[in-house]
Amino acid sequence: MSDAAQPTAAEVRAAAEAVKTALDRHLAAVERRSGDEDPAVYEAFNQLAAAAEAYDELLYDRYDEVTPFEIPGDDSLPPYTGPEEPNAISVLIRRDYAVAEPQRLLAQAQRVEAADSEAVLGTAEGASGTVHGAIGILFGEFEPDEIASRHKEFGLEEGDSTLWVTAADEPADPGDWLDAPFEHVDPERVVCRFDVSAVFDDEDDDLDEDEDLDEDDFNAPLDDEDLEPLDANDR
């Protein structure tokens, strides 16, 4: 940003004063709240968030500094407005992986490609020689759920994942949505949603070590020795 476009020191100071005023209003609204969903508290929260964001932007533009505060957003889904008795549902799944061991990924794809070439008595085209080619072979050979449960064998490291179940009045026409599978998702028709993220793992780390964590133990990833070896002929 050029010097001419920078906010003045007085503007930054005024934004800081606005944050202080918004803080006082928010505290006063909290002290007077009539219940957990008091609209006055909600309005004061939004005013404080807006004031803090404006101050943060001016502070950065003028002094190249930021505040240590982060106002959480509202990631909750809107109320469900779909049919009470859906005639069809769509299950939307996204799983992220990091390619942690490219050589293992390539080796597994080459085994599958070699087995397929022998089965048809043809010649391998060598698609498994590149990482993107190997990914295409493995995801074409194995179901996504199997890859998720055996990701270490394929040289992959799990990232975040999410699953949304949406309601529909009627099943979609065959092939109708394949070119844009996630383009027309209506959040108000989401029946349920399940998220898995490293963010939640970080929160779990704050728990007392003596606390019962049977569920975390159940969901812990398996070690290499616990995983069944890949058999290219086992499909």
| % of the chain beyond a pLDDT of 90 | 48
- CA-wise closest residue to 146 among 225, 219, 234, 215: 234
Position 71 confidence tier, pLDDT thresholds 50, 70, 90? low
Distance, in Å, from the CA atom of 185 to the CA atom of 166, rounded to the nearest integer, reads 8
Whether residue 5 is predicted with pLDDT greater than 80 in this model: the reply is no
pLDDT of residue 176: 87
* Residue 194 burial class via C-beta count within 10 angstroms: exposed 0-12, middle 13-18, buried 19 and up: exposed
Position 125 confidence tier, pLDDT thresholds 50, 70, 90? low
92 in Cβ contact with 185 (< 8 Å): yes
Strand ranges for 154-229 from DSSP E = 156-168, 190-196
pLDDT of residue 116: 80
Average pLDDT over residues 23-32: 94
Q: What are the tens digits of pLDDT across the range 164-174?
A: 999 998 898 99
Q: How many CB atoms lie within 10 A of CB 210?
A: 6
Average pLDDT over residues 114-118: 78
Q: How many helices (H) and strands (E) does the chain have?
A: 7, 3
Q: Where are the domains of the chain?
A: 3-63, 88-173+181-226
Q: How many CB atoms lie within 10 A of CB 197?
A: 13
Q: What are the tens digits of pLDDT across the range 179-225?
A: 888 888 888 999 998 888 877 665 555 544 545 545 454 444 444 44
Q: Which two tokens stand for residue 22?
A: 């918004």
Report the range of poorest mean pLDDT among 68-72, 110-114, 175-179.
68-72
DSSP letter (8 states) at residue 205 = T
Q: What are the tens digits of pLDDT across the range 176-187?
A: 888 888 888 888
Query: What integer best gives the mean pLDDT of the chain?
Result: 81
Of 116 and 175, the structure prediction assigns the larger pLDDT to: 175
pLDDT of residue 220: 47
